[in-house]
Amino acid sequence: MEPIRVALAGAGNCAWSFSQFTALAQANPEARLPGLMSHTVGGYRLADVTVVAAFDVDAAKVGLPLAEAFAAPAISATAFTALGTDRDAPVLPAPVLDGLEGPLGAVVRPAAAARDATPEHVAKALVEYDVDVLVIALPTGSSRAIRMFANAALAAGVAVVNCTPEELARDAGLRRRFAEAGVVLLGDDLRSHFGATTLHTALIELLLSRGVVLSDTYQLNVGGNTDFLNLADARRSASKFASKANALRAAGMADVDGVAGPTGYIGHLADTKVCFASIKATSVLGSGIEIDVKLTVEDSPNAAGVIANAVRVGKTATDRGLSGVLDDVTALLFKSPPHGLPETEARAAFLGFAS
């Protein structure tokens, strides 16, 4: 099959892990890679995905080939493998807008070229590089920059995967514009492959399936990458808390006292993310159930597994003449799609689409 040509908006930790995942697949196209939920989606293997360009604003990345940009100081995700055919894809400048507001401004120096970049440059580059799918992996809270990328993709007729919790797919106006233009829009906020939300919602669904009544719950997350640094600022993390609440509601949690979100930056954890989740519930004869779990994962590879599915869904949907938001398929891939589903239903819908 023709390769799926992907551009990355934000050459950060998620982008780095995703690029490594595609490199691993390209090196051995028929291998069943750990963590890849579906070897093919619409006939596309992960080996059929290639990164052709990236956009960033960091002076340590802009103007460099991808392989060198991912050695920048802001990258903390583990290097498991070297990049393959994508290593020479260029990192192009993008308008900074609100991308580096908050704590990130202290650790990332914007490239001079980013100051001159315009949304028109971004749309033009998407056409020039013949991009099929744009993966938006910008810092949470940078709603203006994220929306700029969505509009540039729309102008260029390029499908969008919104990894961030900023509302694109949940925005009815934007959804309609993508549908009318015949362009696919997938989002919002990646549901990590095996992360805090996946575990938390699975436990909630299990308890509810046993007729147990939930009383209260929390999910606290700490980490040490730039995503957690950024999210330590309450002005940047509001959309992440809202997105996680949407995920718990889709799992069936209603009228329950619950809090879930990023709760601290601990630099030495780097790309390690630690989640503490607690659930209290009432069972037979009013007897109590308490669950307290700790989950430790590497944050960015967890995102890569889902991006690997989402880009293939984006291209397959385009091939099939679909456009706008795909309600059933997105429920497995994102925490906060317009219409969430419990995991079991979401997984069946995704596998049905993929086959």
Ligand X SMILES: NC(=O)c1ccc[n+]([C@@H]2O[C@H](COP(=O)([O-])OP(=O)(O)OC[C@H]3O[C@@H](n4cnc5c(N)ncnc54)[C@H](O)[C@@H]3O)[C@@H](O)[C@H]2O)c1
3-state secondary structure (DSSP) of residue 329: helix
**Residue 265: both structure tokens together:** 């930056």
Tokens at residue 141, please?
A: 């809270």
Least Cβ distance, residue 212 to ligand X (angstroms): 28
| Cα(231)–Cα(137) distance, integer angstroms | 14
Q: Which stretch binds ligand X (CB under 6 A): 41-49, 83-91, 167-175, 296-304?
A: 296-304
H helices of 13-100, where? Answer: 13-27, 66-69
Q: Based on CB atoms, which residue is closest to ligand X, 42 or 99?
A: 99
State yes or no: residue 225 binds ligand X (CB under 6 A).
yes
- Of 66 and 137, nearer to ligand X (C-beta) is 137
Which single residue brings its beta carbon nearest to ligand X? 12
Q: Decide if residue 300 touches ligand X (CB under 6 A).
A: yes
Does 12 bind ligand X (CB under 6 A)? Our answer is yes
- 11 near ligand X, rule: CB under 6 A: yes
Q: Does 251 bind ligand X (CB under 6 A)?
A: no
Q: How many CB atoms lie within 10 A of CB 232?
A: 18
CA distance 252 to 342: 7
**Strand (E) or helix (H) holding 49:** strand 49-56
DSSP track, 188-254: SSB--TTSHHHHHHHHHHHHHHTTPEEEEEEEEEEE-SHHHHHHTSHHHHHHHHHHHHHHHHHTT--
Question: Which residue number, 99 or 324, has a Cβ lying nearer to ligand X?
Answer: 99
Interface with ligand X, residue 19, by CB under 6 A: no
Q: Which residues make Cβ contacts (< 8 Å) with residue 319, sequence separation at least 6?
A: 42
Contacting residue, 4, 20, 44, 56, with ligand X by CB under 6 A: 56
Q: How far is the CB of 234 from ligand X (least distance, A)?
A: 15
- Is 163 a binding residue for ligand X by CB under 6 A? The answer is yes
Q: Does residue number 198 form part of the binding site for ligand X (CB under 6 A)?
A: no
Residue with smaller CB distance to ligand X, 214 or 313: 313
Binding site for ligand X (CB under 6 A): 9-15, 55-58, 94-97, 99-100, 108, 137-140, 142, 145, 163-164, 189-190, 192, 225-227, 299-300, 302-303
